[in-house]
Amino acid sequence: MSRVVILDYGSGNLRSAHRALERVGADVEVTADPEAVAHADGLVVPGVGAFAACMAGLHAVNGPRMIGRRLAGGRPVLGICVGMQVLFELGVEHGVTTEGMSEWPGTVERLQADVLPHMGWNTVDAPSETAMFAGVEDAYFYFVHSYGVLDWTLPTSDHMAAPLVTWTDYGTPFVSAVENGPLWATQFHPEKSGDAGAQVLRNWLGSLV
């Protein structure tokens, strides 16, 4: 049984993520203890609300350092919703620009849609090589957000495999998931996405080493 830590930094959505991961077979702990974070098989970074508030909460528990150390060692991390957004360089909300963790270049900005938030079920356009969506490539997933990454700008490299980027359309395309070695992230909520979301979590657990 894989040991998974959900990083507790004051963000919501911990209980539903905990239940969903237990249902797919993980041994789950909710904590910000550095030793537990370092030694878990997988780390989940949840997030709801404002980008700036989530970054403040992460800094308060030394989250960026713990996440960065795991990734430097090739240790799996899964970001969910704003827990995905904070992995990018910048977040711009209500005229306020906040620095993210810069694991990927890009800016989280307001979606270009007539009705916000984007709340409800939507499909994803995943790359053919995806491991995250294996078995659920054509499924619907549950979204609740008004901000996202509209432009993927990571340059190609001869030395590293390019991340697999999944897109969803709501007014305009936005990044709805990324698979980048040990770092996976989803803009949607797998823990609220029924059987399809459960399969995504199983796929992530299957990637843990």
Fold of 3-207: Rossmann fold (3.40.50)
In the structure, what pLDDT confidence band is assigned to residue 177 with cuts at 50, 70 and 90? very high
State yes or no: pLDDT of 135 exceeds 90. Answer: yes
Would residue 145 show up in a list of annotated catalytic residues for this protein? no
Confidence band, pLDDT 50/70/90 cuts, at residue 160: low
Reported pTM: 0.96
Is residue 29 among the annotated active site residues?
no
Q: Could you say which of 103, 109, 179, 191 is catalytic?
A: 191
* Domain ranges across the chain: 3-207
Tens digit of pLDDT for each residue in 71-104? 999 999 999 999 999 999 999 998 999 999 999 9
Q: What percent of the chain has pLDDT over 70?
A: 97
What tokens does 80 get?
């969910």
Helices (H), the chain: 14-23, 34-39, 51-60, 63-72, 82-85, 194-207
Is residue 191 part of the annotated active site? The answer reads yes
Of these residues, 18, 54, 81, 118, which one is catalytic? 81
